[in-house]
Amino acid sequence: MLTIAAVVLCTLAGGQPQRGDPSASSVPFTAVTLTDPFWAPRQRANATGTLDQNWTQCEKTGRIENLQRAGDAKTGGYQGYFFNDSDVFKMLEGASNLLARNNDRQLRRRVDKLAGVVSGAQQPDGYLNSYFTIAKPDEKWTNLKDMHELYCAGHLIEAGVAHSEATGRTSLLDTAVRLAACIEAKFGPGKTSGVCGHPEIELALIRLYEHTGDPRHLEMARYFLHERGKGTGRPLLGQYCQDHAPLAEQRQVVGHAVRAMYLYSAATDLARIDGDAPMADALTSLWDNLTLRKMYVTGGIGNSAQNEGFTTDYDLPNESAYAETCASIGLAMWARRMNVLTGDAKYADVMERVLYNAVASGVSLDGCSFFYVNPLAARGGVSRQEWFSCACCPPNVLRLLSSIEQYQYVQRPDGLSVNLYAAGTARPPAWGGAGQITQESRYPWDGRVTLRVEAPADRGEWTLRLRIPDWCRSHSLRVNGSRVDAKVSRGYAELTRRWGRGDTVELVMDMPVQRVVSHPAVSGNAGRVAIRRGPIVYCAEQADNPDGVSNIVLPAESPISEKWEPELLGGVVVLTAAADRQSGVFPSDRLYEPRGEGRPATLRLVPYCTWANRGAGEMTVWLAESPSAGLRAGKAWLTPSVSHCYASDTVDALCDDVWGESSADPKPPRMTWWPRKASEQWARYDFEPVQTVNACTVQWFDDTGRGECAPPESWRLEWTDDGAVWHPVELVAGSTYGIALDTRNEVRFAPVTCRALRLVAQLKPGKSGGIIEWALSRVP
């Protein structure tokens, strides 16, 4: 059973003592100033470009006007999606976080004015949602699954808490409390039974409870969390909405990625408060399933665009990776809470990975444009956008980057844990403003960190815990100039002593360039490596490799050198290596050409988080180590064949892990049976060794309007164990042979152990057919 770590007792704003941890509750470290070379410039861009972009777009797209109309008791004229209030509330939270660090008078006036608009939209009973107030006043609380009312309420509550923390004023907090009271009067035992289709209200109510000390907010959060998957007098909403089974019984991460992360974050807070060991055990199992089977090397999560979430274990395609920015932010939130709950540095290791890579890539260096999805490979044409009609990511970036300091330290009863290394100064709240801790470092570009401790004399003996990252294989420590050998426990080097003012700790972490390989079940990465230095994952980008990156081979024996380039991308360490450019391994401009021996090339790599700041060219994270890692990289265990393939298409396209943006997308390689029409055709995978499979996913090719390919009239799957007799698979209940366009048609069947599997398609009269991708799910 998981041990729940002890956390400090802190005094809340409402004067009520409550068990909680400053880094995860409403009492963050104060007077935090970051000066490091990575986060400081991003925070400056966040306070200008990101904030201004969010504010301008919220005004331009009518999001703020919606709230004004609600406050003016106007009806009709609502603009945008029904959940657009949440973008304004997240922006307010981020702006309040900025005020906490820099009391800018102009920003304070803007925030106060907008907070007044929000409060003015509140109804007499405490209800606040501009969509239902001005567009659907008779439909409040009638569709919790789809309409995001409680989700929007949660973001307002979080904004109210942040505003109160930053300003010491309660105007927006009072609005949040009244809204919480409205919700508490509506839902719960003996009242309306229900949960929101998009979790958020749960973690917001816990945050409100930890700020005010009012147990009613905790009870409401506890009800929503434990009602999920229970279905008291109501139908369950399903996996996508995280309402398919009680959370304490779950062991597999499923459904929508952002919804999962927000729910798990709330459940982790509640497990900490309640000392709920069974819930903590479930969260640990979910964590392991996510980070060991469903997380990209960058920390990105949610591989599928179809459900903005998860599919099967080890299904981690690169070019079609979804990896929504909001999901990465959600993972950072959950990782921080799991670290607070358990005291184990492995959660902070993932938190660091996702912050420096998956989160940081979600915004441009100037803070003015954003990625909604974050692929790990691109053939060009991928760029950040200034805004989106569904604009959840830009304000989420704003509120995360404006609170990055809250991820740096955790205060515990016996001392202080350092989770992130970033130059700057912070004052632990338990020190009563009488002390501070300062970091000096060029991290993540350099592994040397100096910490200066200015602790109050009355603190006595306590433990300073320094996280030794999972990527670090060797480190050294000095205290006041003398080398020490500190015990490393649960990922932390522990230094216990009576700390005095001016004590200095020097931590040196070796930061070599590392080649990272993935689990062999991630078939698209076999024969390939990702390059990491410290916490930074690197990529090859066409801006540095003008001839493209898709045909580069980085030999296993090729040394990789590093160089600090202060004028490039805001200052980064660039990696270079001798490589080979293969003319025939990854067809690009021409579909077929002779395989040459390759020509020497110099490969330049930059941090993944900085890609697409210099144009929308090719990019890849995973690099081939030999020419054999071609289109079918990682698929040595299968051999594709077909009844016929058009000369300009390729059989290998069936299993190259490249999906189309639509069925008509001309960019991905494809396999077509053209010009054969109105006939039975097949595609086949032969296995060596024998494989056990239980599902497959097909994306059909369609060029209607410019050609004669269309989805088949029908199709089926057959398997053989001797190559002579073919048997039909047995579909699981509810599974069908789909022929839908612009989607991935998944078929699940009873597991079969076989030497070959084939897809047999009956082509439509007058039509041929083709496949963009045919992916299999293997049983480990």
Name the phi and psi angles at 682, rounded to 5.
Answer: -140, 155
- The answer to whether the Cα torsion of 117, 123, 128, 129 is positive or negative is negative
Query: What is the Cα–Cα distance from 374 to 132, expressed in whole angstroms?
Result: 33
SS3 32: strand
Residue 567, C-beta contacts closer than 8 angstroms, at least 6 positions apart: none
Under 8 Å between Cβ of 398 and 54: yes
Q: How many CB atoms lie within 10 A of CB 57?
A: 18
Query: What is the Cα–Cα distance from 540 to 191, expressed in whole angstroms?
Result: 56
Under 8 Å between Cβ of 509 and 498: no
Residue of 149, 165, 200, 308 marked active site: 308
Query: What is the Cα–Cα distance from 447 to 507, expressed in whole angstroms?
Result: 8
Residue of 58, 326, 392, 539 marked active site: 392
Look up residue 621 and give its two tokens: 């994270």
Known active-site residue 392 = yes
308 in the Ramachandran plot: left (φ > 0), alpha (ψ -120 to 50) or beta? left
Known active-site residue 539 = no
Tell which residue, 780, 774, 779, 750, has the closest CA to residue 696: 774
E strands along 185-271, which residues?
none
E strands along 365-509, which residues?
377-379, 409-412, 415-418, 424-427, 436-441, 448-454, 461-467, 475-479, 482-484, 487-489, 492-498, 503-509
DSSP 676-741: --SSEEEEEEEEEEEEEEEEEEEEE---BTTBSB---SEEEEEEESSSS--EE--BPTT------S
Query: What is the Cα–Cα distance from 773 to 764, expressed in whole angstroms?
Result: 20
- The answer to whether the Cα torsion of 387, 391, 395, 396 is positive or negative is negative
DSSP 113-165: HHHHHHHHT--TTS---HHHHHT-GGGTTS-TTTS-HHHHHHHHHHHHHHHHH
SS3 176: helix
Tell which residue, 711, 699, 696, has the closest CA to residue 744: 699
Query: What is the Cα–Cα distance from 421 to 711, expressed in whole angstroms?
Result: 53
Look up residue 257 and give its two tokens: 């990625």
C-alpha distances (whole Å) from 621 to each of 298, 376, 377, 530, 745 are 9, 6, 6, 6, 27
Under 8 Å between Cβ of 161 and 26: yes
The catalytic residue positions are 308, 392
